[in-house]
Copies of this chain bind each other. A is one copy, B any other.
Amino acid sequence: MKTYKKDLVLTSNGQRVSYHNITESVRQAVKESDIRNGLCVVQSPHTTCSVIFEEFVHDLDFNGDEFLQVDLNRILDHIVPRELSEETNYRYPGPKHLEFLMGLDDPNYPCDPGTILNGDAHIRASLFGASETFIISETTLQIGSVGYIYFIDFDQNRKRNRKCQLMIIGE
Query: Residues of A at under 8 Å CB distance from B?
Result: 1, 3, 5, 37-39, 41, 43, 45-47, 52-55, 57-59, 61, 67-68, 70-72, 74-75, 78-80, 89-97, 99-100, 104, 106, 119, 122-123, 125-137, 142-148, 165-167, 169-171
> Roughly how many angstroms separate A134 CA and B132 CA in the complex, as a whole number?
10
List the B side residues contacting A94 at CB < 8 Å.
57-59, 67
List the B side residues contacting A123 at CB < 8 Å.
68, 71-72, 75
Residue of B nearest to A89 (CB): B74
Residue of B nearest to A47 (CB): B55
Are B57 and A135 neighbours in the complex by a CB distance under 8 Å?
A: no
